[in-house]
Amino acid sequence: MNLISLATFCLLVASQALSQNWVTHVPASDGLFTSQLILSNPGETETSLSVNLYDPAGQEIKQLAYVLAPFETQRILQPQLAAENLSHLSVSQEGDCQVYLAYQAKSGGPAALVQATSHPVQAWRMIVGDNTANWDGIAILNLGAHSTPLLLREFNDHGDIVMQRQISSALAPLAKTLHVIDGVNPGSIVDIVADQPVVVIGLSGDHGNRLLWSNPVAAYAPPIASVTYELVDYFENATFDAPIDVQFAAGLPNLAYVAQQNGDIRRVDLTEQSSSSSYLNLSSRVTHQGEMGLLGLALHPNFASNGQIFVNYVSENNGPRRSIIARFRELEGSVDSGTQEVLLEVDQPFSNHNGGQIVFGPDGYLYIALGDGGSGGDPFGHGQNRTTLLGSILRIDIDKPDPELPYGIPSDNPFLPLDDGSRFEIFAYGVRNPWRISFDRASDSPNLWVADVGQDRFEEINLVSIGDNLGWNISEAYACFEPVNCSLDGITLPVYSYDRSQGDRSVTGGFVYRGSQVPSLAGRYIFGDFISGRIWALHLAENGETTRSQIAQIAPNSLASFAEDPNGEILVCSFSGRILKLQWHLAN
């Protein structure tokens, strides 16, 4: 098939800065086709639109402006859109509007009416028709900020890649390319994958070069095995000293707060990214040695208005070794370390197994992860002892304190009514060393993921509900820790665990991926292992079955923790001092 025949088609594309936009294709003005761009205003108010014309390299040719009265439909004929080297168009509007393209070959054949759409992503999928009698083609526009390679891949019935070809090595931003799909079996599934967000339009016609229809092409999430994942620096010029968390305040997406294990919390302005500045320095209070240090940072859900910051750190100053959960308040953009308000202190008999993460749940309460107190094997039995706060996930209300406490006890905390000595702050218990907890941001109810570091045999991932006994030190993952007189009755078993046979020995919990830039990971729990440096994606099916796929690797003994940016993209905190972002590119 001659590409010149396909070059008679153009793309109607979206301007990324607009609130609503659409994507489709239109014929060029070479006389082979007649076309109409149909703009329809279904609303009760007047709406303004602009149509931007581009050449194939993405350079704007001219702009047309239209105003539609309520319920008006306006047909823009091809002569009005004629421009030398016209390749594609973008349409934007102030209000609600519908955009269609009607086109017909002058040589005859059926007319087509295609509604415009806009959904730039990095992967698209289509089914190829009978290309013995007709032809299939694709028009691709790069809506990303950088040039991108393009791959076309064919799959068999088992989902295996049987053909792969490069359509373009470097399609420039806002540029368009056209490609005839040949050498592919009729009815085959093909995908088009890029490193940048692109728009793909499927075209079909006969060998008389008559356009017969627009072939449906759908955005999709490419299989995990078909792309390559990578970790890139999130901050352009800022590095840190053993970062263990990154937090963003609601309503303030351009400010990042980085907690360092040494106690110094740094703030980075993402609009500059030139360097970080000390925001709250607790290094004189924090004992930073081994597993001890500043271990948790949380910003109040209303931080933008109330300036409340919460920390969890280990200190040996002026008393026994203990975990301190405290509140500070920002005033006029800065925090005075002298404003500390201690909410809770928990003695730590040993220097390890401190847990440490603190997070606000969707219910507005503060959740606190505490380990079993350390040493090995839980020598004091804290995991199964609800009269201590150690070995538990706590939940407190920091907005409505009780008369005798600096915090409140939520009325539905599971052990609040009991008179057996159980601590009312406990939400769930039976954990050994919960190294990172998180909530699935897509869940309406508390859906708490807890990664618990094992003793000698297993690492485990738990999905925790209120009142759960997670088993330690009766059990380690699915197995009895001490096989004599062991019963797993009443224990909530993990949703996933792994042994240490492959050199993975210390789980680091992460997040369920709810971002948009890595669609193949949607809904999967991202976690890793501190010792091996491996990072995985865990798929949990509705029937409870799990599938783990390795997606990345960092240096052994460097995976400190994971974080989420304001858009749900996954960040990795490395003890090397770097904060990395998980992204993907085309597999070789």
Same structural domain, 211 and 240:
no
Residues 240 and 340 both lie in one domain:
yes
Indicate whether 16 and 142 sit together in one domain: yes
Least confident interval from 84-93, 192-201, 250-259, 264-273: 84-93
Q: Is residue 225 part of a domain?
A: no
The reply to whether the predicted model has a pTM over 0.75 is yes
Q: What's the mean per-residue pLDDT of the chain?
A: 86
165 phi and psi, to 5 degrees? -140, 155
Residues 62, 171 within the same domain:
yes
Band the pLDDT of 220: cuts 50, 70, 90.
confident
The answer to whether the peptide bond before residue 447 is cis (omega within 30 degrees of 0) is: no
Residue 26 lies in domain? 3-220
We report the CATH number of the domain holding residue 59 as 2.60.290.11
Could you give the CA distance from residue 581 to residue 579 in angstroms, rounded to a whole number?
Answer: 7
Give, in order, the Cα–Cα distances in Å from 289 to each of 202, 285, 355, 465, 559: 59, 13, 14, 33, 17
Give the mean pLDDT of 292-306. 97
Would residue 135 count as lying in a domain? yes
Q: Hey, what amino acid is at 284? A: S
The pLDDT-based confidence of 398 (bands split at 50, 70, 90) is very high
Per-residue pLDDT at 2? 33
Q: Assess whether 145 and 256 both reside in one domain.
A: no
Largest interatomic CA distance in the chain = 91
Average pLDDT over residues 443-460: 89
Q: What is the mean pLDDT of residues 369-396?
A: 98
Number of domains in the chain: 2
Q: Taking residues 206-229, report their average pLDDT.
A: 70
Q: What is the mean pLDDT of residues 35-49?
A: 81
Check whether residue 256 and residue 196 sit in a common domain: no
Instruction: Report the distance separating Cα 126 and Cα 479, nearest Å.
Output: 47
Give the residue with greater pLDDT, 377 vs 145.
377
239-279 pLDDT per residue, tens: 899 999 999 999 999 999 999 999 999 999 998 866 789 99
Higher pLDDT, 522 or 327: 327
For residues 120 and 237, membership in a common domain is answered with: no
Quote the pLDDT of residue 310: 98
β 88-93/24-27 pair status: unpaired
Do 182 and 84 lie in a common domain?
A: yes
| pLDDT (mean) for 90-95 | 75
Q: In the prediction, which pLDDT does 33 show?
A: 58
Percentage of the chain exceeding pLDDT 70: 84
Closest alpha carbon to 174 in 290, 54, 274, 283 = 54
In a domain, 309, yes or no: yes
- CB-CB contact of 145 with 173 (8 Å): yes
Q: Which residue has the higher pLDDT, 266 or 55?
A: 266
- How far is it, in rounded angstroms, from Cα 23 to Cα 478? 51
DSSP 8-class letter at 216: P
Same domain, 166 and 270: no
CA atoms within 13 A on the CB side of 225: 7
CATH of the domain at 330: 2.120.10.30
CA 67/CA 41 separation, integer angstroms: 10
Within a domain: 214? yes
pLDDT at 8: 34
In a domain, 183, yes or no: yes
Residues present in the chain in total: 588
Q: What is the pLDDT of residue 34?
A: 65
Q: How far apart are CA 437 and CA 359, in angstroms?
A: 8
Q: Per-residue pLDDT averaged across 223-235, rounded? A: 86
Do 407 and 483 fall within a single domain? yes
Q: Which of 179, 201, 220 is the last residue of a domain?
A: 220
Strand order in the sheet with 434-439: 434-439, 448-452, 458-464, 496-499
Is there a single domain that holds both residue 519 and residue 417?
A: yes
What is the residue type of 47? T
Considering the domain boundaries, does residue 74 fall inside one? yes
Please report which confidence band the pLDDT of residue 109 belongs to, taking 50, 70 and 90 as the band edges.
low
Last residue in a domain, options 220, 241, 261? 220
DSSP label of 407: S
- Lowest-pLDDT range, 8-22, 323-337, 350-364, 528-542? 8-22
Q: Which residues of 57-82 are buried (b: 16+ CB within 10 A; e: fewer)?
A: ebeeeeebebebeeeeeeebebeebe
List, for residues 163-188, the tens digit of each pLDDT value: 889 999 999 988 888 788 888 888 88
Using pLDDT thresholds of 50, 70 and 90, give the confidence band for residue 12.
very low
Check whether 65 has a pLDDT greater than 80.
yes
Instruction: Report the pLDDT value the prediction gives residue 113, as an integer from 0 to 100.
Output: 59
| Claim to verify: residue 153 and residue 242 sit in the same structural domain | no
**Pick from 2-11, 357-366, 440-449, 529-538: least confident:** 2-11
274 vs 258: CA distance, rounded Å: 15
CB atoms within 10 A of CB 379: 13
Q: For residue 84, name the pLDDT band (cuts at 50, 70, 90).
A: low
528 found inside a domain: yes
End residue of a domain, out of 220, 255, 283? 220
